[in-house]
Structures are given as structure tokens and as C-alpha cells.
Amino acid sequence: MIEQLVVEGLAIGACYGLFGIAVAIIYKTSEVVNFAQGEMGMVATFVAFHILTVYHVPFWLAFVLTLLFAAALGALIQTCFLRPAKDPTVLGLIIITLGAEMLLMGLAGWKWGAEQKDFPFILSVQKTREIAPGLELNEWSMGVFVLSAVIMLILFLFFRYSRLGIAMRATQQNVNAAKVMGIKVERVFAITWAMSSVIGAVAAMFFAARSVLDPNFMMEPFMRAFAAAVLGGLTSIPGVVAGGLIMGIVENVFGYRWPEWKPIVAFVVIVLILTLKPSGLFAKHFVKKV
């Protein structure tokens, strides 16, 4: 029984981790906490839903089109909302992304209405397969495991070997030095947002397959994923994934034991851990020099 719970928790955790990565790569490069991430994923999922139900295209095509849309959306939000702000404070940036969140949520509600819809996803939560004696895994979980492993591998290679990835890391370390080295910092930010939006959209489609599709459906997963990312330390991608997995297991096991406290058990754990380790479990804690 406990193994089953842990495995399911790991699957949800991997999904949190995937979404947490989306939050973390924006925070890593531009030190913006993107509260609109969930709603960006939500709008992308609605676009996928729209393409699938109105135009009846094959799923893979809708998937690719959605990812293109997500990339454009991310770059657009960065260019239109964050770039014009001059020397914003941390609070200012949080307010901008919260504003973008409300904007996107309002637009989605205006276009698609508030009623709940089923998202026609190709991997089902119901179809299960026995992978070991007494241990079942549904198609959805397998998809999450494979896809998050692939995305993490791509990201690792991207940040390690590609020119753009190195430019992103340089921007993160020191914006001014990066500018001197000839990196177009603003463009790097826009590309980062596009990338993050794509990863977020993938994770959001998985979340939609597990629950229902409505303009609020990403609120809870986003907060869990964000909390998981904070738990892992926001700046290290393996840390974020580990945070997501821990979150998934804690939530699933405790949630099974005390179902009525499921929504908050994760937050209690996080507040406790942050009190002991203020920068999360896996990030180095930088003490500010005066």
C-alpha cells in the first residue's frame, strides 16, 4: 500500500517538479518570481482544448501548436509587461506578474467561460499497468516520468553546452558583465520566458488531464509547484526536481492518512523547512555583504 502511495506521489511530484523548473529558470536568469506561470499554462491548455475541439486536428499537431503559442505568450509577457518597468523592486515585479495572472485569468474566463471541461488528453489516468507485484502505474504517470526525464536531460545539455544556455547562465551571474560580453540581455530574458512558458504548458496539460479544465484549475498546482521549487531552492534545477518529488510524496502519503488536511500539509512542511533553511534545501545560502 505504502509503495503504491509513494509511486503515485512520485508521479505527481515529477509533475510539480516539471512546473517548478518553469518557475525556477525564470527566477534563475532574471530574479523575477513569476506568479503568472500557472495562468500562462492554463491559457495554453485552453488553446490546446480549443484547437482539439473546434478544429479536430490530431493530438500531436495540437500539442506542437500549443507549445508554439506558449512560447509566443511567454516572450510577449516579458516584452510588454516586464521590460518597460524601470528599476523595479522585488515587490514591483511580484505585482506585475500578479497583474498578468489576473489579466490572463480574466481573458480565459471571458473567452471560455467558468464551467468545467474535460481535457481530451491522450494518456489516461484510469488505464493502469502492473509494473511489479502489487504495484500499479497508470499511463499518465508513465508519461510524466518519461517526459520530465527527457525535458530535464535536454535542459541539462542546453545549459551545459549550447551558446544560448551559457549566455543565460552568464546573465544570471552578472547582468552588466554579460552586457559587456556582448550578450543581448533583454533578448535572453525573452527567450527564457518563452522556454519557461513552454515547459509550464507541458506540465499544465498533464495537470489538466488529472483534474478538470477551468480558468482556476492551475491555482492549486501552481502554488504546490512553486512551494516545491522554493523547497528545493529556486536556483538549482536538480534541487527543484527533488523538492517536487518530496512534495508529491509528502502530499500523497499524508493526504491519504489525513485527507481533510491534504491541501495544507505541503505548506506547513514548507514553512517549517524554510524556517530552518531559509534558502531551501539544496541552494547555497548567500549572506549579503555590506
Beta bridge mates, 136: 130
Q: Which stretches does DSSP call E strand in 66-212? A: 128-132, 135-138
Map residues 223-262 to x or -, x wherever contact with another protein holds by CB under 8 A.
Answer: x--xx--x---x-------------------------xx-
Q: Which amino acid is at 128?
A: T
3-state SS class at 118 = coil
Residue identified by cell 506578474 is 97
How many of the chain's residues bind another protein (CB under 8 A)? 54
Map residues 26-45 to x or -, x wherever contact with another protein holds by CB under 8 A.
Answer: -x-----x------------
Report the C-alpha gap between 126 and 56 in whole angstroms.
Answer: 23
The least distance separating another protein from the CB of residue 33, rounded to whole angstroms, comes to: 4
135 counts as binding another protein under rule CB under 8 A:
no
User: With CB under 8 A as the contact rule, which of the stretches 13-21, 68-76, 94-102, 127-135 interacts with another protein?
Assistant: 94-102
Contact 246, 262 (CB under 8 A): no
The least distance separating another protein from the CB of residue 179, rounded to whole angstroms, comes to: 22
Tell me the helix, strand and coil percentages in the chain, rounded to 5: 75, 5, 20
Map residues 172-211 to x or -, x wherever contact with another protein holds by CB under 8 A.
Answer: ----------------------------------------
Taking CA atoms, 109 is separated from 15, 50, 53, 71, 212, in Å, by: 25, 13, 17, 21, 15
Residue choice 2, 54, 114, 180 for contact with another protein (CB under 8 A): 114
Report the C-alpha gap between 148 and 155 in whole angstroms.
Answer: 10
109 counts as binding another protein under rule CB under 8 A:
yes
Q: Which amino acid is at 86?
A: K
Q: Which residues contribute to the site for another protein (CB under 8 A)?
A: 27, 33, 81, 84-86, 88-96, 98-114, 215, 219, 223, 226-227, 230, 234, 260-261, 263-264, 267-268, 270-271, 274-275, 278-280, 288, 290
